[in-house]
Amino acid sequence: METWATKEGFFKCPVPRERKTVPGLGDIWIYGLTNAEKDDYEDKVISVRAGSRQVKLKNARAVLMSLVVFDKNGKRMFGEADIGRLLLVPAFVTDPVLDIARRLSGMRTGEEEELVKNSAGPGDEESGSGSESPKPGDGR
């Protein structure tokens, strides 16, 4: 028996979420991104100047964390003002969360790195990824 999708079916799709225990911290909800949120995320990590794209991966993990982590009541845990502080959270804490978020959002493994590769034009030395990491207490 064939089943055909409907327009209303698309509009009723729930945003996927997954509960995760962060060792030493407790439980969080990780939500997948909607189309609007994924566009917002990509807009924050990609800039277009005079026809060339530059990927700004410097804050990409922190920006994604701010969009996908929710508390027990379904309220976003972090806001844009928290991005600087999220940069200081150890990667061993955030990477498993981000792996789940990428899966729930339909992002392919290495999608950010692919954006960097596809954004570099001929003669581009800098992809905008930055290698400087913030130091605790630097006010970011």
Determine the pLDDT at residue 140: 28
Supply the pLDDT for residue 44: 84
Report if residue 124 sits inside a domain: no
Whether 9 is in a domain gets the answer no
Token pair for residue 25?
């911290």
- The percentage of the chain sitting over the pLDDT mark of 70, rounded to a whole number, equals 71
Kindly state whether residue 4 falls inside one of the protein's structural domains: no
- Which domain covers residue 99, as residue numbers? 14-119
Does any domain span residue 6?
no
* pTM for this predicted structure: 0.73
Length of the chain: 140
Domain count, the chain: 1
- Here the CATH number for the domain that contains residue 39 is 3.30.2220.20
Buried b / exposed e across 48-69, counting CB within 10 Å, b at 16+? eeeeebbbbbbbbbbbbbbbbb
Residue 40 resides in a domain: yes
Answer yes or no: is 136 within a domain.
Answer: no
28's tokens: 């969080």
Q: Residue 99 falls within a domain, yes or no?
A: yes
How large is the average pLDDT for residues 111-134?
46
